[in-house]
A and B are shown apart, each in its own frame.
Chain A
Amino acid sequence: MITVRNLHKTFNNKIHVLKGIDYTVKQGEKIVVVGPSGSGKSTFLRCLNLLEVPTEGEIWFDGRLITDPRTNINEIRTHMGMVFQQFNLFPHLTILQNITLAPVEMKLMDKTEAKERAMQLLERVGLTDKAQAYPAQLSGGQKQRIAIVRALAMNPKVMLFDEPTSALDPEMVGEVLAVMKELADSGMTMVVVTHEMGFAREIATKVLFMDEGMILEEAPPTEFFGNPKNERLKEFLAKVL
């Protein structure tokens, strides 16, 4: 579904963040990316929908080369949902407007359809009563669940999560992870950058370890946590577990 070849990213011609990433995400997989901060994992994720433009390399999505400037990236992005660490809900719009804005603007649905779909999704995350509220009236956990719903409203083929629980108070992490688990169980293809090792262990089909701009290990969670091979991964796991 997503194929990355020889991906490099350099910021300001100096800071070499990604140093040649090759990876393929298949339909239905749940890839969890872990690694120390500054390892390039967020940059890697943000390259997948071209929020960061790679300096070198290719990214293919559903057989289309999205790093080609002629590709309509806006159309591609409607198939790739993204959830951010800081939620990034639109504060001037109600929850319902937050969710229906893009499907209606991108002409995927008319207003009534989008509203119905939004209410269904809100029901799924148990927040129907917040439809008319503004983001400022919600807790962090609620905001992130809405952000997930906003991305899902586009009916994406893949969901990208950029440290979705890192900005949350500890007691709110659970409710967001629960929504993500449910989403994983429904068969969604997911790429998740996170520090939640429990989530990786339970949900991931593959766990990737990134450090200094490279993927140093990739393995199913039992092997990844039970029998790590890379030295730096061993050190990393010793610190975080």
Chain B
Amino acid sequence: MNFSVLWDKIYYNFIYEDRYMMLVKGLGNTLLITLGSILLGIIIGLFLALFKISAENNKKFKILGILSNIYITVIRGTPVILQLMIIYYAIFVSAKDPIPVAIVAFGVNSGAYIAEIFRAGIQSIDKGQMEAARSLGLNFRTSMQLVVLPQAFKNILPALGNEFITLLKETSVATVIAVPELLRGAVNIRNITYEPYITYIAAALIYLVIVVLFTKLQGLLERRLSQSDHR
């Protein structure tokens, strides 16, 4: 294949009739779903982790700890594609727009993984930090918020970034419930042009570029947060 043939293919698949817009819109939705579900996942994960830790320290929260464990076990023990289909076809039966459904499904899923990330992060902080905060009169919640969580967050940032990258790629599974995300955009172009090779490679390259950009961004953030480590 020489260069002009390649250019013709690119032109026909992406530029002709503005077909690249399907990828652009798909990418937009992919990012929307990823951001929405990671935020939802962080909220769910934080609460699950705090429930588990509270249950370990205080018998009053035992039930919450058990419920959190059940949630984590079920979600981690079943494939995400099944969870997505169950939520779409069984729970949100009358949903017209599949994007919010995808956000809920991926958020619920990543919440279980993020819970474990948070729990490990909180437990990695020396007990003396909580004790010092409590000894100054701060209550459990404020001590968590101002002393333990900021330090835990710094420790879990690499794991959280990893989860974000995994999630970004995993959202391509949403193509099975016809969510117009990035992979679906590529599939739609292929359905018109019958050229799977170039369309899928294009989608793959876009995923790759986004992941590389995000990794750089994460590195910057980590460096900023490690300010207090310098001697």
Contact = CB atoms under 8 A, between A and B. Distances in A.
A90 B126 CA distance: 10
A77 B132 contact: no
B157 to A, nearest CB: 13
Nearest to A102: B136
Given A88-B129, A91-B151, A136 B230 contact: yes
Given A91-B228, A92-B154, A136-B230, A105 B138 contact: yes
Contacts of A154: 136-137
Interface stretch (B39-47, B93-101, B139-147, B203-211): B139-147
Contacts of B137: 74-78, 102, 106, 154
Size category of the binding interface on chain B: 20 to 34
Contacts, number: 77
Interface in A79-112: 80-82, 84, 86, 88-94, 101-102, 105-106
A88 B136 contact: no
Contacts of A76: 137
A134 B136 contact: no
Contacts of B131: 51, 84, 88
A77 B135 contact: yes
A194 interface: no
A33 interface: no
A180 interface: no
A176 interface: no
A206 interface: no
A102 B228 contact: no
A117 interface: no
Given A75-B137, A84-B131, A88-B131, A105 B230 contact: no
A43 interface: no
A137 interface: yes
A61 B201 CA distance: 72
B133 to A, nearest CB: 8
B226 to A, nearest CB: 10
Interface in A138-172: 147, 150-151, 154
Size category of the binding interface on chain A: 20 to 34
A196 B172 CA distance: 65
A221 B197 CA distance: 88
A189 interface: no
A151 B151 contact: no
A49 B135 CA distance: 7
Contacts of A102: 133, 136-138
A150 B129 CA distance: 13
B147 to A, nearest CB: 6
Contacts of B154: 92
A51 B154 CA distance: 27
B144 to A, nearest CB: 13
B25 to A, nearest CB: 41
Interface in B23-42: none
Contact of B229 (A81, A89, A136): A136
Contacts of A91: 151, 228-229
A70 B129 CA distance: 25
Given A101-B146, A134-B229, 9 more contacts: A77-B134, A82-B132, A84-B128, A90-B132, A91-B229, A93-B228, A94-B228, A105-B142, A136-B228
Q: Which 4 A-B pairs have the closest CB atoms?
A: A88-B132, A102-B136, A78-B137, A88-B128
22 contacts: A51-B134, A51-B135, A74-B134, A77-B134, A84-B128, A84-B131, A84-B132, A86-B126, A88-B128, A89-B132, A91-B228, A91-B229, A92-B154, A92-B228, A101-B146, A102-B133, A102-B136, A106-B137, A106-B138, A136-B230, A136-B231, A154-B136
